[in-house]
Amino acid sequence: MNVIEIILLAIVTFIFAIDQFSLTEIMYRPIVACPIIGMILGDVQTGLVIGGTYELMMIGNMPVGGAQPPNAVLGSVVAMIFAVKAKMDINAALGACMIFATFGQYVVTLTFTVMSGLMAKADKAAEQANPKGITAVLNTSMCILGGLFAVIAIIAYVGGVAMSGTLEALAANASWFMGGLSAAGGMMRFVGFAILLKIMLANDMWGYLLAGFVCALVIGNIAVLGSATLLLVAFLGIFIALNDFRISGLNKKIAEGGMSDGI
C-alpha cells in the first residue's frame, strides 16, 4: 500500500468529482481520467484500455435533471484499482466497478438534495448583489461532492489492495463467478453504444452502421491492418461524411440556380 498513491488518487478524484458539474466537464470522462489514474497507479496502458472501454459504456448515459446515471468518476477509479491493484481481468473489473458507480449515483443525488436547502442563501446573495455569498454556496457544494468521492476512492484503494489475494484466489477457485463478471463487463460497452444509437440513429443511417460492422470485421481479420482497425474505420467514416457534405452542398447550389458553365 503506497501512501503517495493514496494521496494523489484522493486529489484527482476530488478534481474529477468537481469537474463533472463545475469545471471543464472533460477531465472526468473515463478516456481522460483513467490514463491519469493509470499514471498514479503505475500502469498507463491499462488506463488507456479501461478508459476507452468505459467511455463506450457511458457514451449514451447522460443526466437528465435530477435523474443521474451510474457515476463515471467512481466507476473509473474503482475499475482501475481492481484491474491494477487487485489484478482482476479488465472486463471483470469493469463489471465489478458498476456497483460503486451506482453508489456514486446516490452520492450525487444526496449532494444535490443537501444543496437544494442552501439555494435560498444563493438567492439571497443574488438579491443583495453579493457575489461572495454565491461563491461560498458553490464552493460548499463542490467541497461536499469532491470530499465524499475522495473518501470513497481511498476506501476502494485500501480495500482493493487488502483483498487482492482473496480476489486472485476467487478467480482461481470460482472461475464461473469471474467469468460472469467478465461477460457482464464485456457486454456493457455494446449496451452503452446501443443507448446512444437509440437516441440519435436515423432510419437512413442503418446502411452506414452495417457497413461499418462489415469493414471492422474485414479489416480486423487482416494481420497487417488488424491493430489499426478502429482508426481505419474512423477514417472511412470521415471520408463518407465529407463526401456526403460535399454532394449535399452541390445539390443545394444546383437547386438554387447557383451553378454556371455546365458545372
**Which backbone phi and psi does 16 adopt, to 5 degrees?**
-60, -40
- The answer to whether the beta carbons of residues 82 and 159 sit under 8 Å apart is no
Among candidate residues 212, 217, 257, the one with its CA nearest the CA of residue 239: 212
Higher pLDDT, 70 or 36: 36
Residue 186: predicted pLDDT:
64
- The answer to whether the beta carbons of residues 43 and 51 sit under 8 Å apart is no
Residue 8: predicted pLDDT:
92
Euclidean distance between CA atoms 205 and 46, whole angstroms: 34
- pLDDT for 73-105, tens place per residue? 888 898 898 888 888 888 888 888 888 888 888
Tell me: pLDDT of 253 over 80.
no
Residue 176: predicted pLDDT:
64
Compute the radius of gyration of the chain from its Cα atoms: 23
The residues pairing with 67 across neighbouring beta strands, listed in sequence order, are: 64
- The answer to whether the beta carbons of residues 184 and 95 sit under 8 Å apart is yes
pTM reported for the whole predicted model? 0.70
In terms of average pLDDT, the best of 11-20, 209-218, 222-231, 253-262 is 11-20
Tell me: pLDDT of 11 over 90.
yes
Task: Compute the mean pLDDT over every residue in the chain, rounded to the nearest whole number.
Answer: 81
Mean pLDDT of 43-57: 87
Residue 177 exposure: Cα atoms within 13 Å on the Cβ side = 10
65 pLDDT band, cuts 50/70/90, is low
Query: Left if phi > 0, otherwise alpha if psi is -120 to 50, otherwise beta: which for 127?
Result: alpha
In terms of average pLDDT, the best of 36-40, 221-225, 246-250, 258-262 is 36-40
Among candidate residues 113, 93, 248, 100, the one with its CA nearest the CA of residue 178: 93
Tell me: pLDDT of 189 over 90.
no
Residue 117: predicted pLDDT:
81
Residue 39: predicted pLDDT:
92
* Coil, helix or strand at residue 44: helix
- pLDDT for 110-137, tens place per residue? 888 888 888 888 888 888 888 888 888 8
Mean pLDDT of 150-175: 76
* Coil, helix or strand at residue 67: strand
Mean pLDDT of 128-156: 88
| Residues 6 or more apart whose Cβ sits within 8 Å of residue 16 | 27, 28, 33, 73, 76, 77, 149
Q: How many residues does the chain have?
A: 263
Euclidean distance between CA atoms 153 and 175, whole angstroms: 27
Interhelix angle 131-162/3-22, nearest 10 degrees: 140
Which residue's entry shows cell 461536499? 144
Tell me: pLDDT of 71 over 80.
yes
For the beta carbon of residue 103, count every other beta carbon within 10 angstroms: 15
Tell me: pLDDT of 57 over 60.
yes
Among candidate residues 94, 88, 83, 102, the one with its CA nearest the CA of residue 152: 102
- pLDDT for 232-246, tens place per residue? 888 988 988 888 888
- The answer to whether the beta carbons of residues 243 and 231 sit under 8 Å apart is no
- The answer to whether the beta carbons of residues 48 and 34 sit under 8 Å apart is yes
